[in-house]
Structure 1
Amino acid sequence: MTNKPILTLAVATALTATLAATGGCAVTRSQESVGAYLDDATLTTRVKAKFADNPTVSALAISVETLKGTVQLSGFAKSENERATAEKLARETSGVVAVRNGIVVRPS
């Protein structure tokens, strides 16, 4: 019989101690707190998920980065409609403060 519950408890305790010790520390993105970094990562994921669910927008061709709630879109779109739809989806995402649309329409 293994000691899985004890091992799991030990891992959970170590992880909790690590997070508690680093929770107030800043990360590399311009001294952004860990909480703010995670919020930005969540927004990026939400926007990318909307792109993946939308038949007009190519989630692979458009990059999404978020800093302090501002979403930066970059990459290439096949049409002005795709570019505008990507911006609209990003703006409609809960928690997004602003959107900067740097998507370039690549002529066919």
Structure 2
Amino acid sequence: MKYLAICLYAGFLSFALPMSSGHAATTDKKESTGEYVDDSVITTKIMNDLLAEPKLKSTEIKVKTHKGVVQLSGFVTSQADINRAVEIAKSVKGVTSVKNDMRLK
């Protein structure tokens, strides 16, 4: 599990570092490079925190972030898993709100 977290972090760095070097990303959403990187940092932090939770099958939870709004989706086995994932997401700095689209199996 630690290997997966390291791989995710390395993947994030390979993406985020070139973005932070001053090259503006051109998107239709008119999102600045800083906002895009901040959302990536939030997503990565939440994914790592979910992976660190031993009782949570975090590989089945998808995380997307846009302007600080986090969307959690996927299938989990209990309402307690949903509640814990939402709690973890809300605890990350920069998260303005969490949209829960997770479903019970």
Is TM more than 0.5 here?
A: yes
Output the aligned Cα RMSD: 1.7
Post-superposition shift, 1:103? 0.3
Greater Rg, structure 1 or structure 2? 1
SS at match of 1:60: helix
Any idea what the Cα deviations from partners look like across 1:47-106, whole Å, max 9, x if unmatched?
001100001222210000000001000001111110110000001111111100100011
Give the Cα separation in 2 of the matches to 1:54 and 1:44.
Answer: 16
What residue ranges of structure 1 are gaps of 5+ in the alignment? 1-15
What is the TM-score of this pair, normalised by structure 2?
0.75
What is the TM-score of this pair, normalised by structure 1?
0.73
What's the counterpart of residue 36 of structure 1? 35
What's the counterpart of residue 12 of structure 1? none
In the comparison of the two structures, how many residue pairs are matched?
Answer: 86
User: Are 1:68 and 2:59 an aligned pair?
Assistant: no
Any idea what the Cα deviations from partners look like across 1:20-50, whole Å, max 9, x if unmatched?
4x2xx34326121111000000000010011
Give the Cα separation in 2 of the matches to 1:35 and 1:79.
Answer: 36
Give the Cα separation in 2 of the matches to 1:80 and 1:62.
Answer: 13
> Structure 1 78/29 Cα, relative in aligned 2: closer, same or farther at 3 Å?
farther
What's the counterpart of residue 83 of structure 1? 82
> Structure 1 53/29 Cα, relative in aligned 2: closer, same or farther at 3 Å?
farther
Aligned 8 A contact 1:62 1:103 in 2 = yes
User: Are 1:93 and 2:100 an aligned pair?
Assistant: no
Q: Which runs of 4+ in 1 moved over 2 A?
A: 25-29
Give the Cα separation in 1 of the matches to 2:30 and 2:59.
Answer: 29
Percent identical across equivalent pairs?
34
